A and B are shown apart, each in its own frame.
Chain A
Amino acid sequence: MAGVRRVLPRRLVGLASLRAAQCQTVGMRLRQTRSLNSFMLLPETSSKHIGCALKEITTAVLKQKIAEVSTLSMGTFPKQVKIVEVGPRDGLQNEKNVVPTPVKIKLIDMLSEAGLPVIEATSFVSPKWVPQMADHTEVLKGIQKFPGISYPVLTPNMKGFEAAVAAGAKEVSVFGAASELFSKKNINCSIEESFHRMGEVLQAAQAAGIPVRGYVSCVLGCPYEGKISPAKVAEVAKKLYSMGCYEISLGDTIGVGTPGLMKDMLSAVTREVPVAAVAVHCHDTYGQALANTLMALQMGVSVVDSSVAGLGGCPYAQGASGNLATEDLVYMLTGLGIHTGVNFQKLLEAGDFICQVLNRKNGSKVAQASCKL
């Protein structure tokens, strides 16, 4: 028996949560190593189990368990992350002060110089609803279009889409929600009706060769409905992807999510949409954005939305902060050795510029720490 034991490799990694039944099935047991709180997975020594264990070592059960731990183990980050800068749109849209057109143009130009690969420029929505974006045409026409940088714009319906194309848009975004109530209150229609609207835009965009990005709001919680099931998010994401959106940005719109919820939600979505086509859009209302983004990266997501200087408030929580700050995100990614292509100094300058104009404190902690008083 001892001889047989020597042949068996000491394999892998046991999980504290590996249920006893499964241990028995594969003829394995957990043994705590000398250094506390770590475990090794060892085969059972009885001859009855050895044959079974040999076979079972290579079964899917163990592979699955390793995979489970691997998503929590830190070796699985993407080599590069594409940052989608939403400050000029999502950020400014939620700021109290309306920013003059030349300032918006300058901000976007500065962000382009900072090397951000995607900068959401504006929103072709009715100024009646979003007065901060009333100058959408002038902004899109006025900015410098750097080669290699995309400047998507929001187009909630056909009217917005046509105006965007007339103004020179080469990429557009559409907005869905994982919550019926939010959909009703935000865009005045049900989720199903919103698919119909988006479908029209997608069809027209495809005909014009214009790529479309899809957003899903309330993926980790809704200000009206509260809890949102991962299955619902996956259903909406799948629909947008199948309609032709090249990328689906999953938004924690009110920032209530925490890393476990992020993991559960992404597990559900990535069963329907390839992870390479998934982005996360975290709001920092409860300070959870970077931790949630980290979990998303561990799950294989490699596209992250953020807003320079953490621009934007939260219309659902007075006094609360808004988007994840691009500077703080870049700081973390750089520390992880993940390539972003962003010039950090120029990014800080852009954030500093817009905060001065808005007369507000910079929402980025990195910027606050770097400021020389």
Chain B
Amino acid sequence: MYVTPQESDHLPGLPEYVKIVEVGPRDGLQNETVIVPTDIKIEFINQLSQTGLSVIEVTSFVSSKWVPQMADHAEVMKGIHRYPGIRYPVLTPNLQGFHRAVAAGATEISVFGAASESFCKKNINCSIEESMGKFEDVIKSARQMNIPARGYVSCALGCPYEGSITPQKVTEQVSKRLYSMGCYEISLGDTTGVGTPGSMKRMLERVMKEIPPAALAVHCHDTYGQALANILTALQPWVSWCVFQMGITVVDSAVSGLGGCPYAKGASGNVATEDLIYMLNGLGLNTGVNLYKVMEAGDFICKAVNKTTNSKVAQASFKP
């Protein structure tokens, strides 16, 4: 039996409901050294679909030359069972990827910006400005086809090459632009997990001057063990200049804390969905997700990639 955390009284100012965006099958598996067979990926996503998660990022329509782990994107997209009420976004870095995604049946897409020039160059081989041009094409095409687009902003709290990144840059150069192009939600990513609650708050304060909190998400990596503390910060309201500011209500996570960190050998990756749910449940927040079923899916995929779970909740309490 899994442990249900004791609920506290609902903390004033916290949202009633938090939407979890499960990125394990994409962000998680993309950063695992073991390449998972297509049928296992499909089974994994099908299991996740039965946990109550409402958004599951399936795959990435990126060139297999760059990300071999996602080479089977079309087969996975076509092979999964699409449950009604659940969204299955896919990454589409450019128009080519977008068209392939649509041909494979995608009904929601994501684009990936970065708040750091060096990271942008190294990651997608172009400048931030050039990447905005590419994304504009994708988002325009998506809008024409009534396909919602989500925007990611990498390095929102720091860059492995440039070090610290200003909240101003995160807002003006990337987030605001993606939002004005038509992304319905902007996921702010602490890509290398270097952020701490203070930097998270400063960044959000700035971004929220331009983008309403309801259109924001946080995507925290747990490379330095800071993810849950950063997420707690992002959820909380604050008082500033006679204005009461609500926190965010959408959080990205990966079951079992899948994914390593390509910039810090041996380091952990995404925040574990199980540990996130445990905290949110304890805070009295509704997520709609069944923790035990998530642990089951986590157990399944960890056996497939031959690793122990990174979720502390699963380590402490999961009994298959």
Residues of A at the B interface (CB closer than 8 Å) are 10-17, 33, 35-41, 66, 68-70, 72-75, 220-221, 226-227, 255-261, 263-264, 284-288, 290-291, 293-295, 314, 317, 319-321, 325, 328, 331-332, 334-337, 364-366, 368-373
A286 touches B313 (CB 8 A): yes
**Contact digits for B236-247, partner A, Cβ 8 Å, 1 yes 0 no:** 111110111110
A74 touches B201 (CB 8 A): yes
Residues from chain A with Cβ under 8 Å of B167 in the complex: none
List residues 213-240 of chain B with CB under 8 A from any CB of chain A.
213-214, 222-226, 228-229, 231-233, 236-240
Task: For the complex, give the distance between the alpha carbons of A75 and B282 in Å.
Answer: 24
User: Which of A10, A74, A373 is B266 in contact with, Cβ under 8 Å?
Assistant: A373
User: Which of A260, A336, A364 is B8 in contact with, Cβ under 8 Å?
Assistant: A260
Task: For the complex, give the distance between the alpha carbons of A39 and B213 in Å.
Answer: 13
B312 touches A320 (CB 8 A): yes
B224 touches A366 (CB 8 A): yes
B268 touches A69 (CB 8 A): no
B198 on the A face (CB < 8 A): yes
Residues from chain A with Cβ under 8 Å of B268 in the complex: 365, 368-369
B228 touches A335 (CB 8 A): no
B197 touches A295 (CB 8 A): no
Given contacts A258-B279, A328-B226, A331-B225, contact A369 B8 (CB under 8 A): no
Task: For the complex, give the distance between the alpha carbons of A288 and B222 in Å.
Answer: 12
Given contacts A69-B237, A285-B312, contact A291 B243 (CB under 8 A): no
B225 touches A366 (CB 8 A): yes
Given contacts A284-B312, A331-B196, contact A33 B243 (CB under 8 A): yes
Could you list 30 examples of A-B contacts with CB < 8 Å? A13-B242, A13-B244, A37-B213, A37-B245, A41-B244, A69-B13, A69-B238, A73-B240, A226-B6, A256-B5, A258-B281, A260-B7, A260-B9, A261-B8, A285-B312, A286-B278, A287-B228, A287-B272, A287-B279, A294-B229, A294-B232, A294-B233, A319-B316, A320-B316, A335-B196, A335-B199, A365-B268, A366-B225, A368-B266, A369-B224
**Contact digits for B307-320, partner A, Cβ 8 Å, 1 yes 0 no:** 00001110111000
List residues 5-49 of chain B with CB under 8 A from any CB of chain A.
5-14
B284 on the A face (CB < 8 A): yes
User: Which of B231, B238, B283 is A260 in contact with, Cβ under 8 Å?
Assistant: B283
A365 touches B316 (CB 8 A): no
A40 touches B242 (CB 8 A): yes
A69 touches B239 (CB 8 A): yes
**Contact digits for B299-311, partner A, Cβ 8 Å, 1 yes 0 no:** 0000000000001
A258 touches B282 (CB 8 A): yes
B264 on the A face (CB < 8 A): yes
Given contacts A17-B12, A320-B312, A328-B226, contact A74 B275 (CB under 8 A): no
Residues from chain A with Cβ under 8 Å of B242 in the complex: 10-13, 40
13 other A-B residue contacts (CB within 8 Å) besides A36-B212, A287-B313, A321-B316: A38-B213, A69-B12, A73-B236, A74-B233, A256-B6, A260-B11, A260-B284, A286-B5, A286-B275, A286-B313, A317-B317, A331-B224, A332-B197
B316 touches A291 (CB 8 A): no
User: Which of A285, A286, A325, A369 is B193 in contact with, Cβ under 8 Å?
Assistant: A369
Task: For the complex, give the distance between the alpha carbons of A125 and B103 in Å.
Answer: 69
B196 touches A321 (CB 8 A): no
CB distance from A74 to the nearest CB of B (A): 5
B282 touches A37 (CB 8 A): no
A16 touches B246 (CB 8 A): yes
Residues from chain A with Cβ under 8 Å of B236 in the complex: 72-74
User: Which of A10, A35, A39, A335 is B197 in contact with, Cβ under 8 Å?
Assistant: A335
Residues from chain A with Cβ under 8 Å of B122 in the complex: none
CB distance from B180 to the nearest CB of A (A): 15
Given contacts A286-B312, A369-B264, contact A331 B243 (CB under 8 A): no
Given contacts A258-B278, A286-B3, contact A263 B239 (CB under 8 A): no
B65 on the A face (CB < 8 A): no
Residues from chain B with Cβ under 8 Å of A321 in the complex: 312, 315-316
B104 on the A face (CB < 8 A): no
Task: For the complex, give the distance between the alpha carbons of A364 and B261 in Å.
Answer: 15
B228 touches A290 (CB 8 A): yes
What 7 A-B pairs come out closest when comparing CB atoms? A258-B282, A335-B196, A260-B8, A365-B225, A287-B312, A37-B246, A320-B316
B232 touches A39 (CB 8 A): no
CB distance from B66 to the nearest CB of A (A): 23
CB distance from B144 to the nearest CB of A (A): 27
Closest B residue to A337 by beta carbon equals B198
List residues 253-307 of chain B with CB under 8 A from any CB of chain A.
261, 264-268, 272, 275, 278-279, 281-284
Task: For the complex, give the distance between the alpha carbons of A249 and B133 in Å.
Answer: 56
CB distance from B204 to the nearest CB of A (A): 10
Residues from chain A with Cβ under 8 Å of B8 in the complex: 258-261, 263-264
Residue from A12, A17, A66, A73 with most neighbouring chain B CB atoms (10 Å): A73
Closest A residue to B213 by beta carbon equals A37
**Contact digits for B159-188, partner A, Cβ 8 Å, 1 yes 0 no:** 000000000000000000000000000000
Task: For the complex, give the distance between the alpha carbons of A328 and B223 in Å.
Answer: 10
CB distance from A182 to the nearest CB of B (A): 15
B243 touches A259 (CB 8 A): no
Task: For the complex, give the distance between the alpha carbons of A299 and B269 in Å.
Answer: 30
Residues from chain A with Cβ under 8 Å of B3 in the complex: 256, 286
User: Which of B5, B193, B232, B315 is A295 in contact with, Cβ under 8 Å?
Assistant: B232
Closest B residue to A284 by beta carbon equals B312
CB distance from A132 to the nearest CB of B (A): 22
Given contacts A261-B282, A373-B266, contact A335 B198 (CB under 8 A): yes
Residues from chain A with Cβ under 8 Å of B237 in the complex: 16, 69, 72-73
Residue from B201, B224, B283 with most neighbouring chain A CB atoms (10 Å): B224
CB distance from A34 to the nearest CB of B (A): 9
Closest B residue to A294 by beta carbon equals B229
